[in-house]
Structure 1
Amino acid sequence: MMNMLSIFSPSNYAPFNIACEEYILKNFPEDVFLLYINNPSIIVGKHQNTLAEINYEWVREHNIPVVRRLTGGGSVFHDPGNLNYSFLMNESEDFNRNFERYTKPILAVLQELGIPAILEGRNDLTINGCKFSGNAKTNAFGKTLQHGTILFSSNISDLTAALNPREEKFNDKAVKSVQARVTNVSDHLPYPLSLQDFVTLVRAKVRTMYPDIQDYTFSLRDKEEIQALMNSKYDTWEWNFGKSPRYNLCHSLKTKVGIIEFYLLVNKGIIEEVNIYGDFFTNREISELENALCGIEHKPETVAKVLKDMEYKSFFGEVKLEEIVKAMF
């Protein structure tokens, strides 16, 4: 029987760490317990419409990476106060099985600290009814991946700002995140404990449950291959935004030249249909601009280039380019 490996990622970059999971599933014959801490980032579920899950303006302003993961479920905000754990196991588990098995060590650590943490519903860990951990799972490459977040000392105001989309803009069939009251583990500790000390407790608890586990550090080759996977997939617009299900977006913009309304149909990240309405005055047929915007990536820089190439002011008058682009997302 092969040993289980315990890995703490050397990176705080979310696309790298999400790529780690696929790399391990594909390349490690051992079972793996993986821990990582990300810099501020948003991780969206595999089947979600990314734009409908995030406060796009806030995310762009703060340069927050947005990464699509392999598992379903809702979107989560990560920052340096958030510990993330993954069990990557060499078995294809019954998909309808509950999340108890791999959340057990987390709950055990907290309960031993005197915190009344429980598994509530299908996949949430809560303290006194407030969520501190969301969990997701999938069968991939013939193995089981179950992972979760732990809000230890996260910036809750940033979490709220990042995951606060304008829901009225979107009409789609993608699974939506369910907003819940959240809490940090640190707010319930009987005595001060650093995140690093908490990590030590978690790793020790997993060691008692899996006595054959051994610590492992990624080799240079591991890191290079994870980086390559990240560059080709998890750090690309095509995966993180372009894989979104088909959706309609509608948004109105109030400007000094009047109201401009945008209605877009987007499929797999490509704009298929555009309709522009409003009470603005124009000397050109608005259909020229609508046609030019069809067939392009629903990506700010791509949209901005088309607007500039089409001399957008000849359609709308004195409106700032960034206003128009913002209204289309």
Structure 2
Amino acid sequence: MSWRLLDLGAVDGFTMTSLYEAVARAVDGGNSPNTLILNHPAQPFVNVGYHQVVEEEVDVDFVQQHKIPIVRRSIGGGTILDGPWEQDYFFIVRSPELSANIGDFYKRFLSPVVHALRRMGVYADYRPINDIVVKDRKISGNGGVSIGEAMVLAGDVLLDLPTELMTKVLRVPDEKFRDKLKKSLSEWMTSLKLELGEIPARDEVKRRLVEEFEGQVGVAVEEGEISAEERRNLDELLVERRRREWIFMKDISRERLLQAARTRQVKVKEGVCIYEGVYKAQKLIRITMETVKDRIADISISGDFFTEPHTGVMERLEQSLIGASLDDQALRERILTCFDSLGLRVTGATADDFIQAILVTKRTNLA
């Protein structure tokens, strides 16, 4: 079995976060082979997870002043600063060839990355669900998504670690917290430069990735080109993904609710309350909700979790919860019914985690 290799060099952030989907659509349709994409950002950009609210994660004033683009990807996970200091890879494979277990998928396709790092002298390990670490310090973050019958694993290897800039693009309560964040990043992240004392040539990193992919997955890799269909798909996606309505979709869809929470405008009228809370499952869940007489009138659910289906499903869950009682048992029944009817599967949290997130938030009245 052979895979196609697309070695594309430096690309802009919108292209990097849209190309894998353009290719996956063609793979899903049976018009393109399983594909390994290698590329890296030509310049820094803020990469926001699909289920996140930009204003809650990003220092928008700073990134706009420094002309750093904000890009929303269609894969879940957290906000990161991407840039030329990394090497990115995307594995795109038809899902009938895979195990149904998401953990098996990550383990199989991250094995080549682990072995490539080891061949370069970095003793790396796979840490479930989706990280590669060196002595518990992350050197590679990854995310997965299914698009039709194509499965995508997107990830990177950090060649260097610009912690100063990384902390400046993130929204934090104050500068003291930013200093703590910078220290934390230095403690739980690492890079090839930190591990080896220098940055290896990018071509060497890519060569190791391809060789280990062939060896660990058991396939041959042949260089190819982007097809006409994939270019059309990419052009369509770029039109959508560059729009403000896509980038700030979560901010716009619940603008009134989120603004009320930020300004602590909690007493709209008697019996109406605004609640905001954060719940830590395996991934983070943020809840902002308006209640009227102990029923949900509006709700925003965001965070760094991953969902299947990968787009649109959390918005439908939010809509389904409007009118729901905040009685513990009634809420549990409503959410479990919604998960079932929507076919919702979440990596990094369970249905019970979302129930608990809302109940915990209920006890955290901003007033």
TM-score normalised by structure 2 residue count: 0.60
- Count of aligned residue pairs for this structure pair: 244
For residues 112-162 of structure 1, the C-alpha deviation after alignment (integer angstroms, 9 at most, x for no partner) is 222121112421111122111111112222211111122112422111211
Q: Does the aligned pair in 1 maintain the 2:103–2:129 contact within 8 Å?
A: no
Q: 1:57 aligns with which of 57, 61, 75?
A: 61
- Alignment pair present for 1:203 and 2:210: yes
Distance 1:143 1:192, change over 3 A: closer
Q: What does residue 284 of structure 1 align with?
A: none
Q: Any unmatched runs of 5+ in structure 1?
A: 168-177, 253-260, 265-329
Matches within 5 A, 1:159-170: 159-166=166-173
- Alignment pair present for 1:35 and 2:38: yes
Q: Does the aligned pair in 2 maintain the 1:138–1:145 contact within 8 Å?
A: yes
- Alignment pair present for 1:212 and 2:220: yes
Q: Any unmatched runs of 5+ in structure 2?
A: 175-183, 267-367
Higher helix share: 2
Q: Does the aligned pair in 2 maintain the 1:95–1:139 contact within 8 Å?
A: no
Letter in 1 for 2:206: V
How far apart are the structure 2 equivalents of 1:220 and 1:10?
A: 19
How far apart are the structure 2 equivalents of 1:11 and 1:220?
A: 20
For residues 219-238 of structure 1, the C-alpha deviation after alignment (integer angstroms, 9 at most, x for no partner) is 5774464234212x221211
- Alignment pair present for 1:101 and 2:111: no
Distance 1:211 1:251, change over 3 A: closer
Distance 1:249 1:152, change over 3 A: farther
Q: What does residue 248 of structure 1 align with?
A: 258
Distance 1:26 1:220, change over 3 A: closer
| CA-CA distance at 1:212 after TM superposition | 2.7
Q: Does the aligned pair in 2 maintain the 1:115–1:189 contact within 8 Å?
A: yes
Bigger Cα displacement from structure 2, 155-164 vs 56-65: 155-164
Q: What does residue 183 of structure 1 align with?
A: 190
Q: Does the aligned pair in 1 maintain the 2:89–2:154 contact within 8 Å?
A: yes
Q: What does residue 52 of structure 2 align with?
A: 48
How far apart are the structure 2 equivalents of 1:142 and 1:136?
A: 17
Letter in 2 for 1:24: V
How far apart are the structure 1 equivalents of 2:221 and 2:113?
A: 17
Q: What does residue 24 of structure 2 align with?
A: 25
Q: Does the aligned pair in 2 maintain the 1:81–1:195 contact within 8 Å?
A: no
Matches within 5 A, 1:258-273: none
Distance 1:84 1:105, change over 3 A: same
How far apart are the structure 2 equivalents of 1:75 and 1:192?
A: 24
Matches within 5 A, 1:247-326: 248-249=258-259
| CA-CA distance at 1:163 after TM superposition | 2.4
Letter in 2 for 1:32: T
Equivalent residue of 1:248, what SS? Answer: helix
How far apart are the structure 1 equivalents of 2:265 and 2:230?
A: 45
Q: What does residue 227 of structure 1 align with?
A: 235
What is the RMSD of the two structures over their aligned residues, measured on CA atoms?
2.8
| CA-CA distance at 1:95 after TM superposition | 5.1
Q: 1:125 aligns with which of 128, 132, 155?
A: 132
Q: Does the aligned pair in 1 maintain the 2:23–2:230 contact within 8 Å?
A: no
Q: What does residue 78 of structure 1 align with?
A: 82
| CA-CA distance at 1:195 after TM superposition | 2.5
Distance 1:41 1:119, change over 3 A: same
Percent identical among aligned pairs is: 19
Equivalent residue of 1:27, what SS? Answer: helix
Q: Does the aligned pair in 1 maintain the 2:192–2:199 contact within 8 Å?
A: no
Higher-Rg structure is: 1
How far apart are the structure 1 equivalents of 2:63 and 2:173?
A: 13
Q: Does the aligned pair in 1 maintain the 2:160–2:199 contact within 8 Å?
A: no
For residues 231-266 of structure 1, the C-alpha deviation after alignment (integer angstroms, 9 at most, x for no partner) is 2x22121111124564524698xxxxxxxx6859xx
For residues 40-85 of structure 1, the C-alpha deviation after alignment (integer angstroms, 9 at most, x for no partner) is 0121211111221112121111111222222212122111011111
Equivalent residue of 1:46, what SS? Answer: coil
Distance 1:208 1:221, change over 3 A: same
Letter in 2 for 1:204: E
How far apart are the structure 1 equivalents of 2:68 and 2:188?
A: 23
| CA-CA distance at 1:30 after TM superposition | 0.9
Letter in 2 for 1:114: G
How far apart are the structure 2 equivalents of 1:211 and 1:164?
A: 43
TM-score normalised by structure 1 residue count: 0.66
